[in-house]
Amino acid sequence: MLDTTVTTQTQEVLDTLNAALDAGDVARAAGLFATDSYWRDLVAVTWNLKTVEGPDGVTDMLTQQLPLTQPGHFAIQDGETPAEDGGIITAWITFETRLGRGWGLMRLKDGRIWTLLTAMQELKGFEENRGTRRPMGAEHGAEKNRASWKERREAEAATLGYDTQPYTVIVGGGQGGIALGARLRQLGVPTIILDKHDRPGDQWRSRYKSLCLHDPIWYDHLPYIKFPDNWPVFTPKDKIGDWLEMYTKVMELNYWTRSEVKKASFDEASGTWTVEVDRDGETVVLKPTQLVLATGMSGKANIPSFPGMDSFKGTIQHSSQHEGPDAWTGKKVVVIGSNNSAHDICAALWEADADVTMVQRSSTHIVRSDTLMNIGLGALYSEEAVANGMTTEKADMVFASLPYRIMHEFQIPLYEQMRERDADFYAGLEKAGFDLDWGDDGSGLFMKYLRRGSGYYIDVGASQLIIDGKVKLVKGQVDHFDETAVVLEDGTRLEADLVVLATGYGSMNGWAADLISQEIADKVGKVWGLGSDTTKDPGPWEGEQRNMWKPTQQENLWFHGGNLHQSRHYSLYLALQLKARMEGLDTLVYGLQEVHHLS
């Protein structure tokens, strides 16, 4: 198909969509969508993160939202040309709503819309001060008693939270809280980030010393400031800690270290929170309107209780407490678990000449890091992708444009390629007795992560130690501890000086229960997962990550987090929602998530 024909067909669909929306003709607009179609909206139309399916879903959404948000002016993005591949036309688009501007990606199949992504990028009249709108910084000329930039920053830091109140408080100073704080700073939303550690980045520095990012650097940029082009492909934990600390200073974030939330409560009458903070020994009471829990996608550490643990004479640590292998040279160590942290810790202990045994309790999906880069991420996040004009922002949008309902269909062929490419590697693991899986439907790592956030390992070397027998592997369930060993259900006794519980984390709403109340946690419901009805992700189908980056059933309470990619991308949409509320804009939410009380 010639480019001109593809462009003409795309333009005809957009023109028809614009005409229908302008006329308020919901039926005509919905009729442009294929029977098996998906409209994923990030804030622009729904003031939510919401995917609707088929013409009926589009009809329902537009019936409520069209009069309020008034989407329209859909156009092919300047400088972009629609492309056809395998009968699918893909087009970058821009659009406007009554209150904002956005861009997205549209796919046409058989002349009708198959997938449509609409993502708000800015609020009209409240645009970020960047690019041509960047601040002057120094105002040239003479003025008596003028405060310097340093003096203004010091004054702000001294008064915010004391003489004046922040509009938003973010609990958690990792990459999620920092990315969101940077977005809110640029939007002029007074914000305080609370972190219990001594310095920004200590969440990373305090973990086991072999920890590094398993994702390649092109996937991990923060908003506004990309890593330099000499940055390592896989970032060591202390280096990322230094970067985060630098970032908080450069982005002028109001970042409170040594600040731990003791309790928080919401006043329905005033619509504000009361947040009691222990700030380095001083009790400070904050009164924000919005409260964001950015305490990590995986939530609280899951520390199981086994009979006999109190009588064990060795040391028991959760993986989040394990600092590294140095104290365990020549000692016997049992690591319970077989996902990312378990593998990393086992490899580091082996390097330190510890006697290491991994206890695998359930099957694990493993993908080699270089294979994931070449097959799974390379088309979007790689040096080659950058050279071919794939910016981080475009890559994020391509990834976001695949509806969760059908994302596994795109992933399955990739993981079939990986399995074929690394057949000898997987045969070696199976021969060693390692129990592998590829997800319930063979869709691999990304879907396992999105559905339940665990059950996988991106191999950076530990698997070969298992294949070679250098890290011993035992399969089974823990029955109890005795004074010197872990005892499995089949009676196997594993002598240990140290037991590391690499047993993962629970839902983020566990933090809501601790910091606010169990009642509020129950009101919100489960955080993370799609409702895919797969292992550890029970239905009903939600179609988006539960309660993440969007309104919850508890007014003015939000959850933010995920990996660096998600922290970067979704921080924009959460920041826009908060800014709109601060400015008193009409933010009628479509499709507020229902509460399902799931474990």
Using alpha carbons, list the distances in angstroms from residue 576 to 288, 326, 382.
17, 46, 29
Q: Tell how many helices (H) and how many strands (E) occur in the chain.
A: 18, 25
pLDDT of amino acid 599: 43
Query: Which amino acid type is present at position 1?
Result: M
Task: Examine the domain organization and report whether 84 and 204 are in the same domain.
Answer: no
Of 501, 531, 559, the last residue of a domain is: 501
pLDDT of amino acid 296: 75
**Would the pLDDT of 189 be above 90?**
yes
pLDDT in tens, 95-115: 999 999 999 999 999 999 999
pLDDT of amino acid 587: 97
Provide the terminal-to-terminal Cα distance of the chain, rounded to the nearest Å: 51
pLDDT of amino acid 81: 95
Task: Examine the domain organization and report whether 491 and 386 are in the same domain.
Answer: yes
Of 123, 142, 160, the last residue of a domain is: 123
**Would the pLDDT of 598 be above 60?**
no
**Higher pLDDT, residue 215 or 570:** 570
> Is 528 within a domain?
yes
Averaged over 500-523, what is the pLDDT? 91
**Would the pLDDT of 593 be above 50?**
yes
Residue 73 CB coordination number (10 Å): 14
What confidence category does residue 203 fall into, taking pLDDT thresholds of 50, 70 and 90? Answer: confident
> Is 386 within a domain?
yes
Report the CATH number at residue 49: 3.10.450.50
Least confident of 118-122, 152-156, 470-474: 152-156
* CA 195/CA 170 separation, integer angstroms: 9
**Would the pLDDT of 290 be above 50?**
yes
pLDDT of amino acid 271: 97
pLDDT in tens, 227-260: 999 999 999 999 999 999 999 999 999 999 999 9
Using DSSP's 3-state secondary structure scheme, residue 299 falls into coil
Provide the token pair at 168: 């938003």
pTM of model > 0.85: yes
Task: Examine the domain organization and report whether 235 and 360 are in the same domain.
Answer: no
Task: Examine the domain organization and report whether 317 and 453 are in the same domain.
Answer: yes
pLDDT-above-90 percentage for the chain: 85
> Is 195 within a domain?
yes
pLDDT of amino acid 2: 54
Closest alpha carbon to 357 in 475, 254, 274: 475
CB of 457 closer than 8 Å to CB of 343: yes
* CA 219/CA 368 separation, integer angstroms: 16
Using alpha carbons, list the distances in angstroms from residue 87 to 104, 224, 421, 533.
20, 36, 28, 31
**Would the pLDDT of 579 be above 70?**
yes
Using DSSP's 3-state secondary structure scheme, residue 404 falls into helix
Task: Examine the domain organization and report whether 288 and 331 are in the same domain.
Answer: no
pLDDT of amino acid 505: 82
> Is 320 within a domain?
yes
pLDDT of amino acid 299: 59
Task: Examine the domain organization and report whether 22 and 51 are in the same domain.
Answer: yes
pLDDT of amino acid 298: 55
Task: Examine the domain organization and report whether 239 and 173 are in the same domain.
Answer: yes
Rounded mean pLDDT of the chain? Answer: 94
Averaged over 182-200, what is the pLDDT? 97
Using alpha carbons, list the distances in angstroms from residue 593 to 48, 413, 441, 521, 542.
9, 32, 26, 14, 8
Residue 85 CB coordination number (10 Å): 8
pLDDT of amino acid 1: 45
Domain that residue 31 falls in = 3-123
Task: Examine the domain organization and report whether 336 and 402 are in the same domain.
Answer: yes
- Contacts of residue 580, defined as CB under 8 A and 6 or more positions apart, other chains included, come to 47, 99, 123, 587
Using DSSP's 3-state secondary structure scheme, residue 568 falls into helix
Q: Write out the H or E segment, with its range, that includes residue 341.
A: helix 340-351
Averaged over 320-328, what is the pLDDT? 91
**Would the pLDDT of 508 be above 90?**
no
What confidence category does residue 583 fall into, taking pLDDT thresholds of 50, 70 and 90? Answer: very high
What confidence category does residue 131 fall into, taking pLDDT thresholds of 50, 70 and 90? Answer: confident
Residue 422 CB coordination number (10 Å): 20
* CA 240/CA 235 separation, integer angstroms: 6
> Is 419 within a domain?
yes
How many domains does the chain divide into?
Answer: 3
pLDDT in tens, 14-56: 999 999 999 999 999 999 999 999 999 999 999 999 999 999 9
> Is 128 within a domain?
no
pLDDT of amino acid 550: 98
> Is 134 within a domain?
no
Averaged over 284-305, what is the pLDDT? 88
Task: Examine the domain organization and report whether 334 and 463 are in the same domain.
Answer: yes
Task: Examine the domain organization and report whether 526 and 436 are in the same domain.
Answer: no
Report the CATH number at residue 345: 3.50.50.60
Of 105, 123, 141, the last residue of a domain is: 123
Closest alpha carbon to 558 in 584, 587, 527: 527
CB of 543 closer than 8 Å to CB of 404: yes
**Would the pLDDT of 531 be above 50?**
yes
Task: Examine the domain organization and report whether 457 and 519 are in the same domain.
Answer: no
> Is 45 within a domain?
yes
Averaged over 124-147, what is the pLDDT? 85
Closest alpha carbon to 357 in 327, 336, 330: 336
Task: Examine the domain organization and report whether 259 and 356 are in the same domain.
Answer: no
